[in-house]
């Protein structure tokens, strides 16, 4: 028994020393210096990474939209969100592209099931500014570019997808959970005080009235019409044709080429090759990166806690509150 206790103490001591050593190394590193400056200033700067060498005055920027397109509160300062979609970072990249005269074209890589109506519209509007500035946008779709992922693709001059890409899911969804029956079963009662008859619309503690359903459906229909408009404009397609396609179904890349939602079967390298031809010369290809990563973007976090616990904490930090209207493909 004494040997077992001694071994446990030694193992624990070694673990503590390793953690302290790793932490000290990080705090003394350049990464911590840059992280602390950015954290306290609240301003992360973009840095450039050269992907392919070429003429610095004639550049193409690769912009990646990966993950669910939502501006989750605290996502840019969330210590556990080292990867994943960051809306502010994407918007900063698009602003930089508009301002920088050396940037002549944009390769937008979209691998997303969609996301918020508001965030998708923000990206779309910025891409339209880039397009109006005469800078061509080519889109390369990953394994999925559905709903809001397609919405942000519509300003593109050309859209590429693989045969296996899932795209489409053109439409709007808004949903909530009603747990009234569950609460009743366990004797849970709710007291609600409201200033107007619709103040608790979509409440999870009661059934919606017919009038309330009409109100929400009108909001969904309004956003749906906006979606139809951007497709019709971006794809030079009649609204009647868009209505036929925009019934919420998912399409493969092959089907999307056949129905006009996608221009060509190809991968990211194919889209880049064609964009280089349009830009001309020998363009340099770059990506923008945040100058720092997340403060706790370390292997240490997952070495101390199981991966599932890290993900659960991240969920608690970043959970969106309340029903939200989404351009989102729901499985």
Tens digit of pLDDT for each residue in 262-300? 999 999 999 999 999 999 999 999 999 976 544 444 444
Q: What is the pLDDT of residue 111?
A: 97
Q: What is the pLDDT of residue 84?
A: 79
Q: What is the pLDDT of residue 292?
A: 52
Q: What is the pLDDT of residue 9?
A: 55
Using the CB atoms, write b or e for 239-269: b if 16+ within 10 Å.
eeebeebbeeebbbbebbbeeebbbebbebe
* Residue 96 burial by Cβ neighbours in a 10 Å radius (0-12, 13-18, 19+): middle
Q: Residues with catalytic annotation?
A: 147, 199
Strands 55-66 and 114-116: what pairing? unpaired
The model's pTM is 0.78
SS3 state of residue 211: helix
Q: Are 170 and 248 in contact (CB under 8 A)?
A: yes
Tokens representing 240 are 């009647």
Task: Flag residues of the chain having pLDDT under 50.
Answer: 18, 21, 23-24, 26-28, 31-42, 77-82, 293-302, 304-305, 309-310, 312-313, 316-320
């Amino acid at each position: 028994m004494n040997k077992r206790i001694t071994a446990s103490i030694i193992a624990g001591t070694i673990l503590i020393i390793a953690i302290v050593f790793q932490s000290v190394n990080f705090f003394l590193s350049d990464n911590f210096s840059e992280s602390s400056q950015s954290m306290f200033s609240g301003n992360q700067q973009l840095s450039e990474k050269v992907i392919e060498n070429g003429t610095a005055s004639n550049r193409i920027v690769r912009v990646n939209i990966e993950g669910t397109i939502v501006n989750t509160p605290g996502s840019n300062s969330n210590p556990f969100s080292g990867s994943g979609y960051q809306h502010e970072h994407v918007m900063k990249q698009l602003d930089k592209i508009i301002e920088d005269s050396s940037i002549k074209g944009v390769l937008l890589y979209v691998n997303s099931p969609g996301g918020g109506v508001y965030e998708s519209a923000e990206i779309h509007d910025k891409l339209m500014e880039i397009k109006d500035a005469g800078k061509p946008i080519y889109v390369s779709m990953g394994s999925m570019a559905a709903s809001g992922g397609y919405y942000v693709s519509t300003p593109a001059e050309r859209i590429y997808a693989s045969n296996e890409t899932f795209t489409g899911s053109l439409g709007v969804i808004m949903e909530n959970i009603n747990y009234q029956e569950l609460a009743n079963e366990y004797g849970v009662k709710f007291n609600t005080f409201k200033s107007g008859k619709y103040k608790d619309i979509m409440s999870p503690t009661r059934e919606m009235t017919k009038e309330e359903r009409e109100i929400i459906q009108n909001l969904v229909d309004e956003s749906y019409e906006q979606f139809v408009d951007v497709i019709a404009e971006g794809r030079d397609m009649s609204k009647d044709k868009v209505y036929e396609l925009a019934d919420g179904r998912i399409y493969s890349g092959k089907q999307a080429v056949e129905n006009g939602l996608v221009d060509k079967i190809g991968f990211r390298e194919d889209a880049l090759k064609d964009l280089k031809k349009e830009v001309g010369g020998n363009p340099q290809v770059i990506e923008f990166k945040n100058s720092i990563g997340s403060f706790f973007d370390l292997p240490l976090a997952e070495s101390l806690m199981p991966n599932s616990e890290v993900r659960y904490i991240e969920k608690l930090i970043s959970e969106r509150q309340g029903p939200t209207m989404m351009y989102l493909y729901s499985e």
